[in-house]
Amino acid sequence: MSYTDLSRLLCTLATVKRRVTPVLRSLAFHMARQSDRLPPKQLSNVLYAMNSLSFPDPLLLEKIANDFVSQGNAIDKPTVVGGILTCMGQMRWRNTSMLEILSEWVENHVNICRTSDIAAMVLTLASVSYTPTNIDSLFKAIIPKLTSVTINRETAWLDVVWSLSVLGKATEEHIASVLNPSFVSKIPSAAQHQRTGIKLKLLNINAVARLSMPAYKGPFLDLSDFKDVIITQGRHELMLAKHVQTMLHNFLPPPKYIRENIQTNMGIFVDAELSVGKNGKPIPIEDFTTNFGEKESSKQLPEGAQKLAMFIWDYRDYTIGSQELTGINRLAMELVRKHDYKIVQIPYYEYNMKAKTIKNVQYLESKTKEAVSTS
């Protein structure tokens, strides 16, 4: 079968929602080996199929990227750009070469782009936490096109403002438009499965306004209305976090020396909180915690002591096939740092659940000391 025929078969499987893994692997293998190239429109269709089938085959993605980059000048339709950007964001695919070409194309053709295409640009850059080289000129061109009037669906506008907040490009007007009580009151009308995500984004934006925008004079959320928001973890994430926490208990007995599974009013989840004295030895966190800005600590932190926030990163916390964290996770660390915490990161690709206890305890101790000395 030709490259074109193989791609059409993949798209057909996506249309009929047939995720037959052996067939998909075979298709991806043969498509990745083709020497010819698909045009941008067909590449967009293939990417859409891979996204629909949750099948981000790394070799095929590399082939798509190579095909696309070599034809960057051949793009003539904003719908193709918008489609590719949307798939990249939803798949968490951080191909910097493609993002550079797409960013430049959107900037140069902003007047023929639909609002949805421009929004897809912002959402994808935030999702994969990427700053293109033309970020300043790009946003100067596209920000005027993105308003609550041009994007009249509340959830879509919230997504745009949240993405701008992640990228550090949100203005006071953007923030105020979604923290306004009249906007917040429309949340209950959203579909049930959307409500938690919407509330978490509002809490993220509220935290950005409080911690990163000292000149902000607009409204803030009434946090008492958000007490029911719970961030849940997947099975694999829970297994990893539980294993790490069990190892931590060998030198940080809870609850005196460590707090775990913390739901914050910033809409982010912290796996563990601890504190160390100036000599690097653990000290009781229960005396010094503010629960990340929710209350006053019962005691003043001793001179030279530091509070640490630990994030345990599962593979879903990264963009696919890379060691680059997604936008929400980078935002989480940024917000926690604003509360004077040092960050301890435990990535899944470093931590071995099958290793001996002594090895894992030594690794965690070294990561804690490293965070204190380098931050």
pLDDT tens for residues 287-346?
888 888 788 877 888 888 899 999 999 999 999 989 999 999 999 999 999 999 999 999
DSSP assignments along 234-262, one per residue:
-HHHHHHHHHHHHHHTTTS-TTTS-EEEE
Is pLDDT above 60 for 375?
no
Report the b/e string of 185-214 with b at 16+ CB within 10 A: eebeeeeeeeeebbbbbbbbbbbbbbbbee
Buried/exposed 18-33: b ≥16 CB within 10 Å, e otherwise: eeeeeebeebbeebbe
pTM here is: 0.94
For 208-233, how does the pLDDT look when each residue is reduced to its tens digit (9 = 90+)?
999 999 999 999 999 988 888 888 87
Indicate if the pLDDT at residue 260 is higher than 90: yes
Tell how far CA 71 is from the center of its chain: 29
pLDDT for 349 equals: 95
pLDDT at 374: 66
Question: What is the rounded distance in angstroms from the CA atom of residue 319 to the CA atom of residue 332?
Answer: 16
Closest listed residue to residue 313, CA positions, set 302, 326, 303: 326
Domain residue extents for the chain: 147-226, 235-374
pLDDT tier at 26, thresholds 50, 70, 90: very high
